[in-house]
């Protein structure tokens, strides 16, 4: 009887050409499906909550797949822990309802973008943040970002050519804060929404930095949103600062703040 397994994975995006399978490229999907093939002998199709681009990281990407195997979810987890490469780890594995679908069933997703604006580059975070030379005003960016909370048409922040039916999304939280006192040169941008358009977080951050630098007024976020025009918004900031933090599902079993870890 085919079953559905739901796993949570973390990966360092540095050496991956993103999530999605591409011939001749090292992708997360290809590594995961190859490991599942070694474990079960089956050609398993892994479905993630959404793609991540080349260089983008994940703390809590969720993946569902169907299998004929009789292995328990726990044994799947242990086997994947042994089979996966060092930059791709399994955090959680569990049985899902048979009709669980990792894309369709998403309630909200949470992303973090990390900027380091210290005068000296952080030599240990080169692959995990975007380094800017000019100091940014985090509180100003936080206030400005509140204009985006709620249900809006986010066309201004969608990469051109994206084939979406609707650009309306609901942002439930947008928090910007400097990591005082431990990392005073790091700024975290944390965004939660019921869905994200292509490059939406990176373009929102690219818009906020103009406000953080003082080049634009705080009210500019509302103007950019109202324009529904990608050319009005800021740049798309680079991928290595972006982390998919968590995906929240309606399934009450799957809805845990902290995934059950494989001890």
Return the active site residues.
53
Residue among 147, 66, 53, 124 at smallest CA distance from 100: 66
| Least distance CB 88 / a copy of itself (angstroms) | 7
Beta strands in 100-163 (DSSP E): 106-116, 130-131, 150-153
Which of 1, 23, 99, 124 lies at the binding interface for a copy of itself (CB under 8 A)?
124
Residue list 51-90, contact with a copy of itself (CB under 8 A): 57, 86-90
The pair of structure tokens assigned to 199 is: 């490059």
| Least distance CB 118 / a copy of itself (angstroms) | 8
Beta strands in 97-199 (DSSP E): 106-116, 130-131, 150-153, 168-179, 183-193
User: Helices then strands (H, E): number in the chain?
Assistant: 5, 10
Tell me the window of 35-43, 118-126, 217-225, 233-241 that interacts with a copy of itself (CB under 8 A): 118-126
Which residue, 71 or 262, is less far from a copy of itself as judged by CB? 262
Q: Does position 42 bind a copy of itself by CB under 8 A? A: no
Size of the site for a copy of itself (CB under 8 A): 22
**Four-point Cα dihedral 76, 78, 84, 86, nearest 10:** 150
Q: What is the Cα–Cα distance from 88 to 29, expressed in whole angstroms?
A: 11
Asked if residues 92 and 8 have their Cβ atoms less than 8 Å apart, the reply is yes
Which residue, 10 or 39, is less far from a copy of itself as judged by CB? 10
Which residue, 36 or 91, is less far from a copy of itself as judged by CB? 91
Tell me the window of 146-154, 198-206, 217-225, 255-263 that interacts with a copy of itself (CB under 8 A): 255-263
Which residue, 88 or 254, is less far from a copy of itself as judged by CB? 88
| Least distance CB 124 / a copy of itself (angstroms) | 6
Residue list 85-104, contact with a copy of itself (CB under 8 A): 86-91
* Interface pattern 179-198 for a copy of itself (x via CB under 8 A): ---x----------------
Tell me the window of 35-43, 98-106, 113-121, 167-175 that interacts with a copy of itself (CB under 8 A): 113-121
Length, in residues, of the chain: 263
Asked if residues 64 and 100 have their Cβ atoms less than 8 Å apart, the reply is yes
| Least distance CB 262 / a copy of itself (angstroms) | 6
Residues 6 or more apart whose CB falls under 8 angstroms from that of 154 comprise: 148, 167, 168, 169, 197, 200, 225
Q: What is the Cα–Cα distance from 206 to 199, expressed in whole angstroms?
A: 10
Asked if residues 212 and 138 have their Cβ atoms less than 8 Å apart, the reply is yes
Binding site for a copy of itself (CB under 8 A): 10-12, 57, 86-91, 118-121, 123-124, 126, 128, 182, 261-263
């Amino acid at each position: 009887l085919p079953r559905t397994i739901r796993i949570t994975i973390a990966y360092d995006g540095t050496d991956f050409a993103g999530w999605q399978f591409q011939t001749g490229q090292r992708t997360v999907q290809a590594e995961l499906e190859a490991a599942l093939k070694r474990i079960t002998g089956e050609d398993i199709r892994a479905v993630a909550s959404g793609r991540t681009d080349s260089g983008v990281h994940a703390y809590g990407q969720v993946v569902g797949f169907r299998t004929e195997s009789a292995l328990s979810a726990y044994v799947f987890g242990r086997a994947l822990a042994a089979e996966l490469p060092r930059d791709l780890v399994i955090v959680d594995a569990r049985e899902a309802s048979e009709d669980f679908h990792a894309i369709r069933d998403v309630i909200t997703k949470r992303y973090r973008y990390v900027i380091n604006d210290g005068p000296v580059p952080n030599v240990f975070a080169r692959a995990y943040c975007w380094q800017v030379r000019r100091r940014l005003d985090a509180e100003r960016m936080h206030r400005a970002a509140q204009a985006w909370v709620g249900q809006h048409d986010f066309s201004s922040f969608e990469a051109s050519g994206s084939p979406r039916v609707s650009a309306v999304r609901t942002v439930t939280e947008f928090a910007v804060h400097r990591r005082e006192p431990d990392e005073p040169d790091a700024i975290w941008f944390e965004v939660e929404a019921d869905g994200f358009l292509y490059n939406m977080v990176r373009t929102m951050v690219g818009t906020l930095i103009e406000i953080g630098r003082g080049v634009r007024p705080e009210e500019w976020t509302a103007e950019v949103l109202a324009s529904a025009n990608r050319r009005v918004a800021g740049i798309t900031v680079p991928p290595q600062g972006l982390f998919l933090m968590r995906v929240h599902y309606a399934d009450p079993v799957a809805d845990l703040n902290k995934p059950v870890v494989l001890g």
